[in-house]
């Protein structure tokens, strides 16, 4: 999909994409890639300075319109404001539900409030924004929703139980919508990246030094794979050959073995 389309009367019209969590990492890379394709943008996160600096850069470089929404998507009133924005935007063609974070450690020792916020962001905000976007996209017969999940959503995640479960929700939810949306012109994708160099690991407390160099991808690589996948209609997008092989193995091995091995590798990735 490109940022210029034709309206019913044949005139060229601009298309818009909304990206949550655009102040860093994958979200900022999505915003850049979509602006480069000619989309006007709405970029959403809590850190105003980062969003405004990105907006200015994208306006200058690609001559697109960029609106900034500074909100905390774990807060009901803020989420409601973004839902209204999404539902009333007749030019909204792509929604990237990217904002998310992970809590790492033994579940019994984690802060329950932070875990709840993780579910509110990774699950509740994602599903409510999808619900807000779909009626308009279906009526227009055009749209794409990218729900940023993780390879962690494809297997049980000892030492990141809530994170893995939140991403399993994203995968199952997106797969179900894919069937409901057949024939509507609206596409959905669950993007399942592996280790990607962003602020994510530091914020989650993962010891990045324990992850081998070959396992890392750049946000730009992941985003290009996702957008190419959306064009082709890929439902579960797993960027990178390493993770494609790994996830195929995970699907083939007994679940009990996968759980056990994942528990061992996850423990090693924790900070001492
Ligand atoms: N990096 C990886 O290895 C990896 C792997 C698999 C999946 N993912 C997924 O990729 C997505 C993006 O993460 P990232 O790797 O790009 O990490 P990141 O650099 O930490 O970006 C997370 C983004 O989410 C926003 N965010 C966090 N809490 C928010 C809140 N309460 N309200 C609104 N926005 C909020 C952050 O902005 P503010 O702090 O400014 O609000 C930031 O823009 C996440 O869903 C993550 O689970 C990442």
- Note down pLDDT in tens along the chain; length 272 residues: 776 565 555 555 789 999 999 999 999 999 999 999 999 999 999 999 999 999 999 999 999 999 999 999 999 999 999 999 999 999 999 999 999 999 999 999 999 999 999 999 999 999 999 999 999 999 999 999 999 999 999 998 999 999 999 999 999 999 999 999 999 999 999 999 999 999 898 888 877 777 889 999 999 999 999 999 999 999 999 999 999 999 999 999 999 999 999 999 888 777 54
Rounded to the nearest whole angstrom, what is the distance from the C-alpha of residue 98 to the centroid of ligand 1? 7
| Cβ contacts of 124 within 8 Å, gap of 6 or more | 79
Ligand 1 atom closest to the CA of 46, numbered from 1: 41
Residue 202: what pLDDT? Answer: 85
Inter-residue contact 129 to 123 (CB < 8 Å): no
Residue 203: what pLDDT? Answer: 86
Pocket test for ligand 1, best of 45, 148, 174 (most atoms within 8 A of CB): 45
Rounded to the nearest whole angstrom, what is the distance from the C-alpha of residue 9 to the centroid of ligand 1? 39
Distance CA 237, CA 231 (A): 11
Residue 266: what pLDDT? Answer: 86
Residue 2: what pLDDT? Answer: 72
Q: For the whole model, what pTM was predicted?
A: 0.96
- Helix (H/G/I), strand (E/B), else coil: 69: strand
Inter-residue contact 61 to 73 (CB < 8 Å): no
Ligand 1 atom closest to the CA of 28, numbered from 1: 43
Residue 168: what pLDDT? Answer: 98
What number of other Cβ atoms are within 10 A of residue 179's Cβ?
9
Pocket, ligand 1, Cβ cutoff 6 A: 21-27, 45-47, 72-74, 98-102, 121, 148, 150, 193, 195-196, 198-200, 203
Q: Which of 62, 159, 163, 243 is catalytic?
A: 163
Distance CA 257, CA 242 (A): 20
**What does the domain layout of the chain look like in residue ranges?**
4-269
Fold of the 4-269 domain: Rossmann fold (3.40.50)
In this structure, the residue with its CA closest to atom 43 of ligand 1 is 21
Q: Is 221 a catalytic residue?
A: no
Structure token pair of residue 151: 């390879």
Q: Which ranges in the chain belong to alpha helices (H)?
A: 25-36, 48-62, 76-87, 112-119, 126-140, 161-180, 200-204, 219-232, 241-252, 255-269
Residue 9: what pLDDT? Answer: 55
What's the residue count for the chain? Answer: 272
| Integer CA distances (angstroms), 43 to 8, 91, 97, 113, 169, in order | 27, 15, 11, 26, 24
CA atoms within 13 A on the CB side of 112: 1
Rounded to the nearest whole angstrom, what is the distance from the C-alpha of residue 176 to the centroid of ligand 1? 24
Q: What is the phi-psi region of residue 10: left when phi exceeds 0, alpha when psi lies from -120 to 50, beta otherwise?
A: left
Rounded to the nearest whole angstrom, what is the distance from the C-alpha of residue 177 to the centroid of ligand 1? 23
Rounded to the nearest whole angstrom, what is the distance from the C-alpha of residue 100 to the centroid of ligand 1? 4
């Amino acid at each position: 999909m490109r940022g210029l389309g034709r309206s019913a009367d044949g005139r060229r019209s601009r298309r818009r994409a909304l990206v949550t969590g655009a102040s860093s990492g994958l979200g900022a890379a999505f915003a850049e890639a979509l602006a480069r394709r000619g989309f006007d943008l709405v970029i959403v996160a809590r850190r105003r300075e980062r969003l405004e600096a990105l907006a200015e850069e994208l306006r200058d470089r690609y001559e697109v319109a960029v609106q900034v929404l500074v909100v905390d998507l774990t807060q009901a009133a803020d989420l409601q404001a973004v839902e209204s924005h999404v539902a009333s935007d007749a030019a909204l063609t792509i929604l990237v539900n990217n904002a998310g974070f992970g809590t790492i450690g033994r579940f019994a020792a984690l802060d329950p409030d932070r875990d709840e916020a993780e579910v509110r962001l990774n699950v509740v905000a994602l599903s409510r924004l999808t619900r807000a976007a779909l009626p308009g996209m279906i009526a227009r017969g055009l749209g794409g929703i990218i729900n940023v999940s993780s390879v962690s959503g494809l297997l049980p995640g000892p030492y990141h139980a809530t994170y893995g479960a939140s991403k399993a929700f994203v995968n199952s939810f997106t797969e179900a919508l894919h069937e409901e949306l057949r024939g509507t012109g609206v596409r959905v994708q669950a993007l399942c990246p592996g280790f990607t160099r962003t602020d994510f690991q530091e914020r989650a407390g993962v010891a990045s030094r324990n992850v081998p160099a070959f396992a890392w991808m750049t946000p730009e690589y992941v985003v290009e794979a996702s957008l190419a996948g959306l064009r082709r209609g890929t439902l579960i997008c797993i960027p990178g050959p390493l993770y494609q092989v790994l996830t195929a193995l995970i699907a083939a091995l007994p679940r009990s073995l996968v759980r056990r091995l994942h528990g061992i590798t996850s423990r090693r990735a924790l900070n001492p």
